[in-house]
Amino acid sequence: MREHLNEFAPRRIAVLDPVKLVIENYPPGKEEECEAPNHPQKPELGRRKLPLSRELWIEREDFSENPPKGYFRLFPGNKVRLRYGYVVECTGCDKDAGGRIAAVRCKYDPDTKSGTAGAEAVKVKGNIHWLSAKHSHPAEVRLYDRLFKAAHPGAGDTDFLKDLNPDSKKAVTAQLEPALKDAKAEEQFQFERHGYFVADRADSPPGAPKFNRTVTLRDSWSK
């Protein structure tokens, strides 16, 4: 299934567990466009525009105050590339009353925009996905996994229900790139980094599709 979907599924960006990223030195009110391929192995499918603004959504797991060894994403003082965009350096974070990260802060290097001359002069190890907070839209995304947590449910026990996987379905409110708002029922995409998804056949009214995960990009079942 992965091989089949990889061939024809256009690429899109979805942030499944969003937290705000504020680019402190990006001019308020300024907007610009970055370009991303619809399919990296098929240039004939063209490219699409991704709006960029001062406030973005990133995945919550892409920031750590106390990063483990080998962590190359955002942490205070570290630089990463916003995929298809600029290199940014993390300057810190804001927390809510409960101590949860409410926003991550950074500064960008205006000479490092992907696709421009000299953009690769600054070398970084991390590359993270993002969406403009102003231009993205929220949508329900259902994350399906295996129904059972054991390869042979009920083996050695008559009650196979004890082997049900409690995480076999999770529904999250994700942030999606603008192009996904017009997705039609049963239209299929690769959400970069997250897997392959399809607009729900019965629950995708015009302008407000809901998405179901068909399969992840990699299989971690053996672990």
Q: Give the C-alpha distances (Å, rounded to integers) separating 98 from 59, 94, 95, 101, 159.
A: 20, 11, 8, 9, 41
DSSP β-ladder status, 131-132 and 126-128: unpaired
Instruction: Name the one residue in this structure whose structure tokens are 């399906």.
Output: 144
Round the average pLDDT of the chain to a whole number and report it.
94
User: 118-136 pLDDT, tens per residue?
Assistant: 888 899 999 999 999 999 9
Map out the domains of the chain as residue ranges: 15-132, 137-215
**Structural tokens at position 140:** 């329900």
pLDDT of residue 221: 55
Q: How many CA atoms lie within 13 A of 193 on its CB side?
A: 14
**Structural domain 137-215, CATH architecture:** Beta Barrel (2.40)
Domain 15-132 bears CATH identifier 2.40.240.10: yes
Q: Model-level pTM?
A: 0.91
User: 49-68 pLDDT, tens per residue?
Assistant: 999 999 999 999 999 999 99
User: 15-24 pLDDT, tens per residue?
Assistant: 999 999 999 9
137-215: same fold as 15-132?
A: yes
Look at residues 179, 161, 160 and name the one whose alpha carbon lies nearest to residue 35: 179
